[in-house]
Amino acid sequence: MKKHKHQQPLRLCFLLPVFLFFQSISAVDFVFNGFNSSDMLLYGLAGVESRILTLTNRTYYSIGRALYPEKIPAKNPNSSYVYPFSTSFIFSMVPYTKTPPAGYGIVFIFVPVKGIEGADPAHYLGLLSFTNNGNPDNHVFGVEFDVFKNEEFDDISANHVGIDMNSLKSNASHNTGYWPDNSSNADDEKSFKELKLNSGENYQVWIDYSDSLINVTVALAGMKRPGKPLFNVSLDLSEVFEDEMYVGFTSSTGQLVESHKILAWSFSNSNFSISEELVTTGLPSFVLPKDSIFRSKGFIAGITVGGFCGVCLCALFALFLIKRKRRGVREREEMEEWELEYWPHRMTYIEIEEATRDFSEENVIGTGGNGKVYKGVLAGGAEIAVKCISHENDGVREFLAEISSLGRLKHRSLVGLRGWCKRDKGNFFLVYEYMENGSLDKWVFECDDRKMLSCEDRIRILKDVAFAVLYLHEGWEAKVLHRDIKASNVLLDKDMNGRLGDFGLARMHGHGQVPNTTRVVGTVGYLAPEVIRSGRASAQTDVFGFGVLILEVMCGRRPIEVGKPALVDWAWHLMGQGQLLNALDERLKARGEFDEEEVGRVLHLGLLCAYPDPSSRPTMRQVVKVLEGNNEVLDEVESEDMDVYLLRKMKPMGRWSEIPRDFGSSSHPTFEDIRQSHSSSMSFSWSNSMAEGR
């Protein structure tokens, strides 16, 4: 069923004037109705199974790419004229049962080289990477079928088709679907039929390019091609394309996985009718059986953004009602299959009782906001920390929030949730991985000098935490705010790696939605001014908390100490006098083993993060870059004053430009001045807010 006709001279009976223009170029056309593994160059997870090109499987954080083995002439080297092309393919995106939502999408690509270098998994779609995204030297063109709404790339939805030129920020995009032929008014938005990309259905795509116009059309496989394309864009590919390009598909998995499959593919640069040779019927179906609500399309669609939490909570409440009367060792057997896979495991009370030796006082390792924390050892030998949550103080809500978010989040710098247990109406337990070295605040504030953390260790731990917060903000399909970043919520594992814990206050938000909580949550001293004012948390308020964390860890001072100026005010004042390095922990200074440049950079970063105006704070992504000492950033520093440099670099257009650059002079504004100027309605100072909060 396969036909190759490449490198044949162009047939002259095909008389589109456009094509006569480049007669000397050999035509390339091919049709694959099913693949075999020698048909394509396969990279990463890509493979051929039962004649289907399978780009990804359930392996997390990986790329799958398949390219046609030979380069295709893409533009005329003499005139830069981009040759037309016409391609059509049938794909299926199949979520694995019981692990919805799924990600991340398929991209039809033109790339200049073989292989997958310069591509990252997850929301980079295996197309580009964190470092090269947007670079005009990429020479990468893609048509993305994207099921992840990424704010960073201004994605319009979690179900869109986009045109990508050297960047994942699409030049044009549209929700996936088609315009039915029979609708009386083709432009009527109401007639648009949306197609859910990762429903497991087989979809056919047509992409036609000629004379700087590209048409993209999508339909259910087997359907007649809709007369009106989903969308068209006029674009000049002459700068993007090299003379010859590889063509194929790329895809990725991240924290989310799904199987991305290509069932058939045709391509031609000479015959726009070639797609007629695709076999579009009698194809295997990958639509998931509707045998449980958790596998139905409705559920998958419902949970993609935002709705997830609600569904989880309902399901969990239903579960509570059903299970109310049952407990003991039989619980586990009574659990539904999905329950076991879907959540972190539910454990029995007996298991937890045994692990903590009947909640012995000797096993108490801490007291959280809601109750005691016990150390325990499970029957298998695994060490755990059990956090008790009581019904008062919104215990139920925190409990549900915590398992519905933390349970699904996995990152090496987050404290993993192993399971949970409900004792009775009043008491819940959360079972975490045990962190051998306890919380960071003990190491910073209560340690004797001998065991004190070195400057290097402190910065390394801050980096770990920064990665964890970045993951919460961007690594997941819904933005997760931590809301309570502070030293006592950072735990250290046996290798002294920093791990962010305690998501009791986290709430999930679909990317792009404005969180509307009005209850102030967090800890005094770490709360951003706008949170105190409005009660509204955001990614920027987490950045603020992280800034305070940097300062307290580096300065060895709690954010608020009786009889002293607030930490942020104090550090800001020192920077104003050009003496920021003096803010460093006295004990570290006494030891003298530190890299002044790095410490200066980290302290500045702390101040930037804790800047009063939320819009001037860096994003966690920028924070990570600076902490990593990104060379790109550093090369530019050279002789420039670090203060000036960071301020300029982090917010070139923002309000930092208003700050006088003569840092040594007494006209330098105080932290308070700037806070006042950015938040006129705010009339407290740090010490006042402490007084209110205490």
Ligand X SMILES: *[C@@H]1O[C@H](CO)[C@@H](O)[C@H](O)[C@H]1NC(C)=O
Q: Is 99 in the site for ligand X (CB under 6 A)?
A: no
**Binds ligand X by CB under 6 A, chosen from 129, 183, 238, 676:** 183
Task: Compute CA distances 212 → 199, 206, 349, whole Å.
Answer: 33, 16, 66
Burial class (CB in 10 A: 0-12, 13-18, 19+), 631: exposed
Alpha helices in 343-451 (DSSP H): 349-355, 395-406, 440-445
Q: Is 565 in the site for ligand X (CB under 6 A)?
A: no
Tokens of 345: 């495991």
Q: Is 184 in the site for ligand X (CB under 6 A)?
A: yes
Our CB check for ligand X shows the closer of 104 and 429 to be 104
Which residues lie closer than 8 Å to 198 by C-beta, 6 or more apart? 93, 94, 95, 102, 147, 258, 300
**Binds ligand X by CB under 6 A, chosen from 6, 21, 57, 642:** 57
Subset of 305-344 contacting ligand X (CB under 6 A): none
**Binds ligand X by CB under 6 A, chosen from 228, 372, 423, 648:** 228
Q: Are 404 and 508 in contact (CB under 8 A)?
A: yes
Cis peptide before 101 (omega within 30 of 0): yes
Q: Is 167 in the site for ligand X (CB under 6 A)?
A: yes
Q: How far apart, in Å, do the first and last CA atoms of the chain sit?
A: 76
**Binds ligand X by CB under 6 A, chosen from 26, 99, 129, 232:** 232
**Binds ligand X by CB under 6 A, chosen from 120, 144, 201, 208:** 208
DSSP per position, 12-50: TT---HHHHTTTTSPB-EEEEES--TTSSEEEET-EEET
CB of 8 to ligand X, least distance (A): 10
CB of 97 to ligand X, least distance (A): 14
CB atoms within 10 A of CB 598: 14
CB of 136 to ligand X, least distance (A): 8
Our CB check for ligand X shows the closer of 202 and 271 to be 271
Q: Which span (230-238, 322-330, 385-393, 396-404) binds ligand X, by CB under 6 A?
A: 230-238
Q: Is 515 in the site for ligand X (CB under 6 A)?
A: no
Q: Are 129 and 149 in contact (CB under 8 A)?
A: no
Q: Is 269 in the site for ligand X (CB under 6 A)?
A: no
Subset of 362-421 contacting ligand X (CB under 6 A): none
CA atoms within 13 A on the CB side of 464: 25
The C-alpha atoms of residue 333 and residue 345 are separated, in whole angstroms, by 12
Cis peptide before 43 (omega within 30 of 0): no
Q: Is 236 in the site for ligand X (CB under 6 A)?
A: yes
**Binds ligand X by CB under 6 A, chosen from 28, 40, 45, 400:** 45
**Binds ligand X by CB under 6 A, chosen from 94, 143, 161, 165:** 165
The C-alpha atoms of residue 56 and residue 400 are separated, in whole angstroms, by 32
Q: Which span (207-215, 472-480, 511-519, 537-545) binds ligand X, by CB under 6 A?
A: 207-215
The C-alpha atoms of residue 2 and residue 22 are separated, in whole angstroms, by 27
Nearest Cα neighbor of 422 from 566, 561, 319, 530 is: 319
* Helix (H) or strand (E) run with residue 428 in it: strand 427-433
Q: Which span (71-79, 443-451, 582-590, 625-633) binds ligand X, by CB under 6 A?
A: 71-79
CB of 162 to ligand X, least distance (A): 11
Tell me, by CB under 6 A, how many residues bind ligand X.
Answer: 40
Residues annotated as part of the active site: 484
Q: Which residue has the tokens 């300065």?
A: 555
CB of 280 to ligand X, least distance (A): 14
Q: Is 185 in the site for ligand X (CB under 6 A)?
A: no
The C-alpha atoms of residue 91 and residue 52 are separated, in whole angstroms, by 10
Our CB check for ligand X shows the closer of 215 and 685 to be 215
- How do beta strands 427-433 and 498-500 pair? unpaired
**Binds ligand X by CB under 6 A, chosen from 6, 21, 118, 180:** 180
Q: Is 3 in the site for ligand X (CB under 6 A)?
A: no
Q: Is 14 in the site for ligand X (CB under 6 A)?
A: yes
CB atoms within 10 A of CB 464: 23
**Binds ligand X by CB under 6 A, chosen from 210, 292, 348, 679:** 210
Our CB check for ligand X shows the closer of 77 and 222 to be 77
**Binds ligand X by CB under 6 A, chosen from 7, 8, 36, 367:** 36
Q: Is 169 in the site for ligand X (CB under 6 A)?
A: yes
3-state secondary structure of 693: helix
Task: Compute CA distances 180 → 90, 275, 281, 335, 420, whole Å.
Answer: 19, 20, 20, 45, 49
Our CB check for ligand X shows the closer of 167 and 413 to be 167
Question: Vertex 557, ends 551 and 558: CA angle to 5°?
Answer: 90
Q: Are 72 and 28 in contact (CB under 8 A)?
A: yes
Give the x-and-dash track for 472-511 against ligand X (CB under 6 A). Answer: ----------------------------------------
Burial call 637-676: b when 16+ CB within 10 Å, e when fewer: eeeeeebebbbebbbeeeebeebeeebeeeebeebeebbe
Q: Are 262 and 52 in contact (CB under 8 A)?
A: yes
Q: Is 60 in the site for ligand X (CB under 6 A)?
A: no
**Binds ligand X by CB under 6 A, chosen from 7, 80, 131, 273:** 273
Q: Is 175 in the site for ligand X (CB under 6 A)?
A: no
Q: Is 71 in the site for ligand X (CB under 6 A)?
A: no
Q: Is 277 in the site for ligand X (CB under 6 A)?
A: yes
**Among all residues, whose Cβ is closest to ligand X?**
208
* Backbone dihedral angles phi then psi of residue 612, each to the nearest 5 degrees: -60, -35
Q: Is 80 in the site for ligand X (CB under 6 A)?
A: no
Our CB check for ligand X shows the closer of 162 and 504 to be 162
Nearest Cα neighbor of 544 from 563, 571, 560, 525 is: 525
CB of 179 to ligand X, least distance (A): 9
Q: Is 78 in the site for ligand X (CB under 6 A)?
A: yes
CB atoms within 10 A of CB 98: 15
Q: Which span (52-60, 120-128, 374-382, 608-616) binds ligand X, by CB under 6 A?
A: 52-60
CB of 276 to ligand X, least distance (A): 5
Q: Is 155 in the site for ligand X (CB under 6 A)?
A: no
Binding site for ligand X (CB under 6 A): 2, 11, 13-14, 24-25, 36, 38-39, 45, 47, 57-59, 76-78, 165, 167, 169, 171, 180, 182-184, 208-210, 213, 215, 228-229, 232, 235-236, 271, 273-274, 276-277
